[in-house]
């Protein structure tokens, strides 16, 4: 199906944005993997979730399928670069559940929740998805022992990520590349 030039320009912009966002998300993912959270006395397995900044921003500007592509790209690339393929199943189930929750909240809960609330919900969904996948693989619920602690750290990191997304959305809205994706 032939596209008009403005349609193809939009498609190209989307592709460029997804590519940039994936690159930034992967870098953020690698950066936070270097931060020794456990050494600082935090929950093992807890993460700052900085890559979520890019995913939530993408959901905000682009369509759901674009953000889904970003989530899959980011998860696969991070697994490649960190060599953590054996835990791909867990990170994928976490990030997919987190994506679904944030997507639904941005589309249908935007009046009741701010970006901060949505980012918290996404972070919590990430933890829950990962732990559920783990408890299925282990066929044991004992991993959920750490869920309450992960929920609390998830709230804290979710607030930080939410503020970052708010600043990023405001700044990006001023760039011409993002102009036509504003609602």
Site residues, other proteins (CB under 8 A): 33, 38-39, 44-45, 82-84, 86-87, 90, 109, 112-114, 116-117, 120-121, 124, 134, 137-140, 142-143, 145-149, 151-152, 154-155
Complex with other proteins: residue 71 or 105, whichever CB lies closer: 105
Complex with other proteins: residue 62 or 120, whichever CB lies closer: 120
Compute the distance between CA of residue 15 and CA of residue 43 in angstroms, rounded to an integer: 37
Please, what is the minimum distance in Å from the beta carbon of residue 135 to other proteins?
9
Please, what is the minimum distance in Å from the beta carbon of residue 71 to other proteins?
19
Complex with other proteins: residue 86 or 176, whichever CB lies closer: 86
Compute the distance between CA of residue 95 and CA of residue 122 in angstroms, rounded to an integer: 9
DSSP string, 82-121: HT-GGGHHHHHHHHHHHHHHHHHHHHHSTTT--HHHHHHH
Please, what is the minimum distance in Å from the beta carbon of residue 116 to other proteins?
6
Please, what is the minimum distance in Å from the beta carbon of residue 113 to other proteins?
4
Residue among 57, 18, 58, 51 nearest 32 (CA): 51
In the chain, which ranges are continuous DSSP H helix?
A: 5-34, 51-61, 64-82, 88-108, 115-137, 147-172, 176-179
Complex with other proteins: residue 72 or 143, whichever CB lies closer: 143
């Amino acid at each position: 199906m032939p596209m008009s030039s403005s349609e193809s320009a939009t498609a190209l912009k989307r592709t460029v944005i997804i590519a940039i966002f994936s690159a930034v998300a992967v870098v953020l993912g690698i950066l936070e993997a270097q931060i020794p959270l456990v050494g600082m006395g935090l929950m093992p397995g807890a993460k700052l979730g900085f890559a979520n900044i890019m995913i939530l921003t993408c959901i905000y500007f682009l369509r759901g399928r674009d953000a889904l592509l970003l989530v899959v790209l980011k998860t696969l690339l991070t697994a490649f670069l960190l060599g953590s393929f054996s835990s791909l199943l867990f990170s994928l189930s976490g990030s997919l559940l987190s994506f679904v929750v944030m997507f639904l909240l941005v589309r249908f809960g935007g009046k009741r929740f701010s970006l901060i609330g949505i980012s918290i919900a996404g972070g919590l969904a990430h933890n829950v998805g990962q732990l559920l996948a783990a408890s299925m693989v282990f066929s044991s619920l004992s991993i959920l022992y750490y869920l309450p602690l992960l929920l609390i750290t998830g709230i804290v990191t979710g607030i930080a990520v939410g503020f970052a997304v708010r600043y990023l959305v405001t700044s990006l809205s001023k760039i011409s590349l993002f102009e036509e994706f504003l609602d």
